[in-house]
Structure 1
């Protein structure tokens, strides 16, 4: 009977698109190549942090894949082919240093006609998603939208959108779009009446459009659940229900905070229920507040942050974006970003997630790489990554490392291998084919492109993007910092030099890159992991830790406290593994590529300095 029932459920699903097959196990497949005994990509939220099955703290770092989904040229898919998806995934792992992607999906292409889900689109999207999962990357899908829908815009419009299908726009009979005097596409959100009214109608379920979206989301999640293998599905970290939500129009007397409480949060509860029905009960929803809740321009900022939602974890993750609109404006911030520029902004994210007792992710951050303000990009991005790593600016870190707080997860916008090679007829206009940049509203933010030989190459400094970071910490992170020595033109940016009070550590690091992690162990057998950038080949890497001090660390062995291994996925990316079998003990590990064949005396002197420093700066503060 169980076998017959399972077969019947599958038949019903094929005939009627039912999501009642959530209990049917997906196909089986091997885990990503290079996986070790402790590699299990499943994550959950515990005590306000992402954790894995071993109780290790997990940091999700990577990129959005990709803005191509907004375009028509590949029919709402991130890639023209699965082969391109594999090429992109390998490069993202090996060149970009990521372990996670936010994977964009299109409602317009998933449901081109009301009530009809395009299984061909879902199948193609699933195959492209598999390329990233098989490369050892975690994935969280996102039904993306900007300015509600491209179908609000005319063939000769200055702007375009993405998200809702044409039938949803036709149902509303919206006015001709016009932004008036707009210098940036985002001004359409609050100035374009067509965008505002359509957005309002979605949140109030006019014409049943929200119900249709939720039904399509459920069918999409059920499709993924059925067509990913068990190991692949483990790598799906959760789902982002809606990109950059905004009311469109507030009701009379309604505040932004009240809108979040009375309109946005009930939508998330409905989406959460759809996740459960589709077989995603153990995965969190990555929910975003009003997109203007943390704007750094005072006249844009609106009260929010899901303040009235109560405890979010473990069913929800606090998910937000951050762009420096002052820097992007070219008017409100002269000059470039500096050490600690965004420490306060990201501290707000950490504090809000902590108050909601859940994990946080900054699922979009970035800066234009072309145009009048692109000269700010090297410093803006360095400052953003610095703020993800620690809530303390570099100049203060060595004085109070325990104030760092948790390392934040984040996904840079964006990773589009087709950057500069698009063929996008804007709003369907064959006379306005866009090829440059991201081919969407004059944006150009992709960290990658293809060279003339078709190989992915970085458009930003590899020292900035491929970073040392703790991807899994066996215990509780006390503090972390990374000095990437990235460049602004010919200038090396050093915002966190080793202090003169640690002369041997300073001598060991020299002008090289370095990272320093402090953590309290949890007693588990699984090791702490740090992603090793390509600039840290084993032969040039030095580790100074209370667990062991070694230049050119050996291949990982459970018997050795310090070792190196490939990351899962077979892309050639590597990780440092640190094994501390005790519990509740403070450990530290300095990792640098600045030393060439350091002497045993120098290594021991550096270790002695760090041990005394950790006892003085950390044990006393947290003991």
Structure 2
């Protein structure tokens, strides 16, 4: 679709989102043209309603994707995720086609946005906008993040073991901070609580010493205003919101102050100020993706601190509960000797669901991952599978078929990270020409990127495609009741099957066989728009089987509105990725759909028998 046509459609898209958000029934979408959801390019504005992300057609949306990218922490590309727009486009296409993502957390640098106090670098913002546009053009939603780790790289000396990113040089120079030192620190994150320079600088930011927090808020507002003014209406509709501040921590607490009190008295007022800046910049209809104290859900007891924005009250639709999760026990190599198993993170991710529900908003886990190199990298296949499993449902695979509706909402998430330059960097650590980093992520010995470029310059996955390119309900026309996906990903030569079809459903088990499968149950809301599931590349159109109350098919027909309740269509962006469309125009009805690539030319009798089993099972469980 041409830019001119996109600009014409943009206002209609925004109006559609406004009508839906203000109470017009989703069924009103029936009178809108197919292009609003089927031409593969048009986004609708995302809002929060009833604790879920909702698009302009009244569908419940799940955001899945990656962080783009830790390259922003480095200086080699001047604080940008990519060296060029061409690289951004290559990355976006690969993320969609290989990684199955429909969204990205897009990292920005305060140091490069405001290199001189009070002066926003519009050259940097222009480059950011063009790189963001590459993802929007690929049909990928974006939520920017002003990223920081250890406050600023300018706190660290040229000979340091570690480095940081975030605040500009002028902030550090004004602070007169002590010589940085972490002492005996085995992991870079220990600097947060052990490095006096990092602690003091963070404390000063939260207390607005020298007006540095005000300066950050002004730069953030100007950045958001620039994006709103330089993306057309259609593109801006694809921007999901903004993450104000990565992994906030007090640095040091005031006398007698607890972590919970710090969140209440310091962090939450900051988010309210940021929210006001969003409104002033033209982002009034987009939520702020706010993070609690980064240690609130740590899975090591000595790290855990009370928090989770417990005293912020009802966050509501203008905020999203946004947190990170890394298995520090597994990363330590000390507190978890074995590998992750079925249901490993059900409790941890269940806590995120519960916290968001109590705050009356949607949740997203905007960072999760595990090292792909080093002494604990052997745990990555199981740790990542368990994390994706917990995003899909809070019920372990062993008990999912007996209590599927206890799974809670399907969680949105962004894996750390998607860096096409992995292993090919040329970063002068802390500007030291004698410390040129090329390996891994080129930042504090990390190596977590799911992607890299091969010798021919083609993007390739560094992890099992069966793990990353997943079936998931990207847009549900109604309310998700239950979802599971058995990816059959590998740990070495071992196939990991944590959710086998039970023997009580023998025909379903025969149909699935040793293949991958997903099962969605949802209750319709009368929308004329279809429910959409991302189809991984491992689900070829001709050999994907769907068994649903809406219809049963071995091989997917192309979508034709009003005639194909079960069909396939291209996903937005022209990347070659596909989506399964399930159309149910009724309201309040419980529907189900099993999607599998396990069977080759299944017989009509097997399909009928499997449908009979699933119908009875859904009726008894829904």
Task: Give the TM-score normalised by the residue count of structure 2.
Answer: 0.94
Q: Write the deviation string for residues 28-72 of structure 1: whole angstroms up to 9, x where unpaired.
A: 377899951695331100000000112110000000000000000
How far did residue 122 of structure 1 move? 0.3
**1:123 corresponds to:** 126
Counterpart among 452, 462, 467 of residue 470 in structure 2: 467
Matched position secondary structure for 1:314: helix
Counterpart among 372, 375, 395 of residue 372 in structure 1: 375
**2:399 corresponds to:** 396
Matched position secondary structure for 1:28: helix
Q: CA RMSD in A?
A: 1.5
Q: Write the deviation string for residues 472-519 of structure 1: whole angstroms up to 9, x where unpaired.
A: 000010000000000000000000000000000000000000000000
**2:426 corresponds to:** 423
How far did residue 262 of structure 1 move? 0.1
Q: For the structure 1 residues 583 and 35, does the alpha-carbon distance in structure 2 shift closer, same or farther, using more than 3 Å as the test?
A: closer
Q: For the structure 1 residues 355 and 494, does the alpha-carbon distance in structure 2 shift closer, same or farther, using more than 3 Å as the test?
A: same
Q: Does 1:407 align with 2:410?
A: yes
Q: Does 1:587 align with 2:585?
A: no
Matched position secondary structure for 2:616: helix
2: CA distance, partners of 1:37 / 1:594? 30
Q: Does 1:383 align with 2:386?
A: yes
Q: Write the deviation string for residues 227-248 of structure 1: whole angstroms up to 9, x where unpaired.
A: 1011100000000000000000
- Mind listing any 5+ residue stretches in structure 2 that lack a counterpart? 14-34
How far did residue 27 of structure 1 move? 9.4
2: CA distance, partners of 1:285 / 1:267? 12
Counterpart among 85, 90, 104 of residue 87 in structure 1: 90
1: CA distance, partners of 2:147 / 2:593? 39
**1:567 corresponds to:** 571
2: CA distance, partners of 1:531 / 1:42? 19
8 A Cα contact 1:35 1:569, kept in partner: no
**1:217 corresponds to:** 220
8 A Cα contact 2:44 2:57, kept in partner: no
2: CA distance, partners of 1:189 / 1:171? 20
8 A Cα contact 1:34 1:569, kept in partner: no
Counterpart among 485, 489, 496 of residue 492 in structure 2: 489
2: CA distance, partners of 1:602 / 1:27? 46
**2:445 corresponds to:** 442
8 A Cα contact 2:43 2:139, kept in partner: no
How far did residue 617 of structure 1 move? 1.8
2: CA distance, partners of 1:41 / 1:382? 31
1: CA distance, partners of 2:360 / 2:175? 39
Matched position secondary structure for 2:182: coil
Counterpart among 512, 533, 537 of residue 534 in structure 1: 537
1: CA distance, partners of 2:178 / 2:418? 35
Matched position secondary structure for 1:525: coil
2: CA distance, partners of 1:476 / 1:259? 36
**2:65 corresponds to:** 62
Q: Does 1:280 align with 2:259?
A: no
8 A Cα contact 1:34 1:568, kept in partner: no
Matched position secondary structure for 1:590: strand
**2:75 corresponds to:** 72
How far did residue 557 of structure 1 move? 1.3
How far did residue 449 of structure 1 move? 0.1
Counterpart among 295, 298, 302 of residue 295 in structure 1: 298
Matched position secondary structure for 2:317: coil
2: CA distance, partners of 1:369 / 1:41? 36
**2:38 corresponds to:** 36
Matched position secondary structure for 2:38: coil
How far did residue 348 of structure 1 move? 0.1
**1:616 corresponds to:** 620
Task: Give the TM-score normalised by the residue count of structure 1.
Answer: 0.94
Counterpart among 449, 452, 455 of residue 452 in structure 1: 455
Q: Write the deviation string for residues 578-605 of structure 1: whole angstroms up to 9, x where unpaired.
A: 0001111100000000010001000000
**1:514 corresponds to:** 517
**1:250 corresponds to:** 253
**2:609 corresponds to:** 605
2: CA distance, partners of 1:306 / 1:403? 25
8 A Cα contact 1:313 1:356, kept in partner: yes
How far did residue 553 of structure 1 move? 1.2
Q: For the structure 1 residues 283 and 617, does the alpha-carbon distance in structure 2 shift closer, same or farther, using more than 3 Å as the test?
A: same
Matched position secondary structure for 1:109: helix
2: CA distance, partners of 1:40 / 1:522? 20
Matched position secondary structure for 1:309: coil
**1:361 corresponds to:** 364
Matched position secondary structure for 2:323: strand
8 A Cα contact 1:99 1:138, kept in partner: yes
1: CA distance, partners of 2:341 / 2:108? 35
Q: Does 1:311 align with 2:314?
A: yes
Matched position secondary structure for 1:363: strand
**1:324 corresponds to:** 327
8 A Cα contact 1:34 1:566, kept in partner: no
Q: Write the deviation string for residues 75-95 of structure 1: whole angstroms up to 9, x where unpaired.
A: 000000000000000000000
Matches for 1:343-362 after TM superposition, within 5 Å = 343-362=346-365
How far did residue 309 of structure 1 move? 0.5
2: CA distance, partners of 1:481 / 1:570? 28
8 A Cα contact 1:474 1:526, kept in partner: yes
**2:156 corresponds to:** 153
1: CA distance, partners of 2:161 / 2:43? 47
Q: Number of aligned pairs?
A: 594
8 A Cα contact 1:27 1:226, kept in partner: no
2: CA distance, partners of 1:27 / 1:150? 40
**1:21 corresponds to:** none
Matched position secondary structure for 1:141: strand
How far did residue 552 of structure 1 move? 0.5
2: CA distance, partners of 1:293 / 1:439? 28
Q: Write the deviation string for residues 337-378 of structure 1: whole angstroms up to 9, x where unpaired.
A: 000000000000000000000000000000000000000000
8 A Cα contact 2:39 2:572, kept in partner: no
